[in-house]
Amino acid sequence: MNKLATALFILLSAATLSKADIAQPKGEVILTISGEISETNVGDTAQFDLEMLQALPSQSFTTTTIWTDGPQVFEGVELSVLAELVGFGGNTYSASAVNDYSVSIPMTDAVPGRALVAYLRNGNPMPLRNKGPLWIVFPFDSSQEFQSETIYSRSIWQLNRITVLNDDG
């Protein structure tokens, strides 16, 4: 494939993620994004079932964590992809778990190569009792930058809500 054809393919592939293409969830909603977003599919929120998340471009990496034994393979959608799809408009986001635990995370983690919203661990879906169905993880072993209490605190499991905030006052 020549360079022009490759560039056209990338451009057309990116168009498939156009914000107007957020489908309606058909299965159980496992992630709701609200707040400062420009694209919605259910009221003023963007809601996703597992099939919708799996239809987005996926990434995977192998890393150890402080919560598991041995290397783990995580697969999911990068937070940056979700940010682009729904049009994150704030500078921080609050990630919340099923048990209402929440953590504030700067938008700088919503860039490629950082936060992954994992829906598979070691090739299997994660049940609620085993940190699922979604877990924000980082490639901890790839850089010492990811091996800090700050980053560990942002690695929220049982994720079910993201609220995009504009904290500029």
What mean pLDDT is predicted for residues 12-19? Answer: 43
What's the pLDDT score for residue 168?
A: 63
What's the pLDDT score for residue 116?
A: 97
With a CB cutoff of 8 Å and minimum separation 6, the contacts of 39 are 19, 20, 22, 46, 85, 86, 87
Q: Is 127 domain-assigned?
A: yes
What's the pLDDT score for residue 56?
A: 96
Q: Is 11 domain-assigned?
A: no
Residue 8: pLDDT over 60: no
Q: Is 126 domain-assigned?
A: yes
What mean pLDDT is predicted for residues 31-60? Answer: 96
Q: Counting beta carbons within 10 angstroms of the beta carbon of residue 126, is it exposed (0 to 12), middle (13 to 18) or buried (19 or more)?
A: buried
**What is the domain count for the chain?**
1
What's 79's domain CATH number? 3.90.420.10
Residue 12: pLDDT over 50: no
Name which of 161, 22, 18 is nearest 93 in CA terms: 161
Q: Is 19 domain-assigned?
A: no
Q: Is 153 domain-assigned?
A: yes
What's the pLDDT score for residue 5?
A: 37
Q: How confident is the model at residue 167 (pLDDT cuts 50, 70, 90)?
A: confident
Q: Is 131 domain-assigned?
A: yes
pLDDT tens profile 145-166: 999 999 999 999 999 999 999 8
Q: How confident is the model at residue 10 (pLDDT cuts 50, 70, 90)?
A: very low
What's the pLDDT score for residue 1?
A: 45
Q: Is 8 domain-assigned?
A: no
What mean pLDDT is predicted for residues 30-52? Answer: 96
pLDDT tens profile 55-91: 999 999 999 999 999 999 999 999 999 999 999 998 9
Of 15-24, 69-78, 122-131, least confident by mean pLDDT is 15-24
- Whole-number average pLDDT of the chain: 88
Residue 103, helix vs strand vs coil: strand
Backbone phi and psi for residue 105, each to the nearest 5 degrees, phi listed first: -130, 135
Q: What is the extent of the structural domain holding 91?
A: 26-165
Edge-to-edge order in the sheet of strand 159-165: 46-49, 29-35, 159-165, 92-97, 102-106
pLDDT tens profile 99-117: 999 999 999 999 999 999 9
Q: Do 34 and 78 meet the contact criterion of CB atoms below 8 Å apart? A: no
Q: Is 13 domain-assigned?
A: no
